[in-house]
Amino acid sequence: MDILISEDLRHPAFDRLAGKFSTVMDATLWKNDAGLQSRVSEARVLVVRNQTQVTAKLLEAAPRLIGIGRVGVGLDNIDVAAASRLGIVVVAPLNANATSVAELALGLILALARKIPAADQSTKAGGWDRRSFTGIELDGKVLGVCGFGRIGRMVAGRARAFGMRLVVFDPFLKEDSPALAAAGAALCPRLEDLLGHSDFVTLHLPLTPETHHLLDARRFEAMKPGSYFINTSRGGVVEESALMAALQTGRLAGAALDVREVEPPAARTAFETLPNVILTPHIGAFTAEGQQRTFEAVADDLERLLTGRPAVNFVNMESPKR
């Protein structure tokens, strides 16, 4: 077997690959640890999104594996260090979805500011209660951007067009960074400083041991009273119980979550009952354009690896070492 796809990843780009290489797609294989380990032992490349847990144990059971294709941005479900140690290329087109995610983040900011979902539901139910849906303008408000990679910078550029003032937290940036100057943004060395000054806070951080539950009860207590919180990065960056408490006590005016700690959530929570919370099912990357770019980039790189050529969108090495 050349290609093993362990999730529901149907796309014409992969159909093209299947016409050239022996391919198996099992949409539920990610749920079956034993079955996944058995099948991956036969594969030359493995294709996943975010449900398959690509652990060191799994990779060590795959002696023929030369590459992993990640259809998406986050790498928290792949042990990249183990893949590198074993000489396996990890492919992930990290910029393919950036525009899609940035636009969703801005859309959620607007939806929170103008109470669009609640106004829509009320009007469809026969109401015409204009006063209850009095919102706020973005012009002149402070947007705190946590994480100033490609997506964070794109959000900042779009927010600036709405007249928002920008502050940034990113431990990898320095105050004289050209990216900050280009965005007209000020750097906050401490996360608490950004939280205390921002009317809106948007997260664009990877999930790592260092960022897990970075936004906890102490950090939410540091947020400006009446501010709004948006997360389109990774659910694990946020301690959900702490966020829920901040919303229920009125510390925050609202929140929008495209990502959750457990996806899909195992059970309903208070988030689903709060009118000032917007929930979407991890759709940041799900635009026609973003998906096309992502699938095509992964398919192209997997074909390169399977035909002995170096990958383009690699995150650890361009060619396999095994």
* Residue where the block lists tokens 């690959």: 17
Residues 154 and 91 in one domain: no
User: Is 282 a known active-site residue?
Assistant: yes
Classify residue 316: in a domain, yes or no: no
**What digits encode the pLDDT tens for the residues 175-203?**
889 999 999 999 999 999 999 999 999 99
Is the pLDDT at 14 greater than 90, yes or no?
Answer: yes
Where does the pLDDT of residue 73 fall: very low under 50, low under 70, confident under 90, or very high at 90 and above? confident
Average pLDDT of 2-10?
96
Active site residue: 192, 263, 296, 318, which one? 263
pLDDT for position 183 = 93
Where does the pLDDT of residue 140 fall: very low under 50, low under 70, confident under 90, or very high at 90 and above? very high
Residues 222 and 138 in one domain: yes
**What digits encode the pLDDT tens for the residues 280-299?**
999 999 999 999 999 999 99
User: Is 175 a known active-site residue?
Assistant: no
Average pLDDT of 234-250?
96
Residues 103 and 30 in one domain: no
Active site residue: 44, 153, 204, 234, which one? 234
Q: Are 29 and 51 in contact (CB under 8 A)?
A: no
pLDDT for position 244 = 96
pLDDT for position 277 = 97
Residues 121 and 268 in one domain: yes
pLDDT for position 272 = 94
Residues 88 and 110 in one domain: no
Is the pLDDT at 135 greater than 90, yes or no?
Answer: yes
Residues 198 and 160 in one domain: yes
Question: Could you give the CA distance from residue 192 to residue 177 in angstroms, rounded to a whole number?
Answer: 21
Query: For all residues of the chain together, what is the average pLDDT?
Result: 95
Classify residue 195: in a domain, yes or no: yes
Is the pLDDT at 267 greater than 90, yes or no?
Answer: no
Q: How many domains does the chain have?
A: 2
Residues 200 and 108 in one domain: yes
Q: What is the CATH number of the domain that holds 127?
A: 3.40.50.720
Within the chain, where are the H helices? Answer: 12-18, 33-40, 56-60, 80-85, 98-114, 116-124, 150-161, 178-183, 191-197, 217-222, 240-248, 288-306
Average pLDDT of 231-252?
96
Residues 110 and 247 in one domain: yes
pLDDT for position 191 = 96
Active site residue: 11, 16, 213, 282, which one? 282
pLDDT for position 179 = 92
Say what percent of the chain tops pLDDT 70. 100
Where does the pLDDT of residue 64 fall: very low under 50, low under 70, confident under 90, or very high at 90 and above? very high
**What digits encode the pLDDT tens for the residues 80-111?**
999 999 999 999 998 899 999 999 999 999 99
Residue (of 199, 245, 203) closest to 225 by Cα position: 199
Residues 63 and 198 in one domain: no
- Residue 56: DSSP 8-state: H
Question: Could you give the CA distance from residue 235 to residue 219 in angstroms, rounded to a whole number?
Answer: 16
Question: Could you give the CA distance from residue 220 to residue 38 in angstroms, rounded to a whole number?
Answer: 44
pLDDT for position 74 = 81
Residues 250 and 292 in one domain: no
Residue range of the domain that includes 57:
3-96+288-306
Residues 102 and 244 in one domain: yes
pLDDT for position 110 = 98
User: Is 263 a known active-site residue?
Assistant: yes
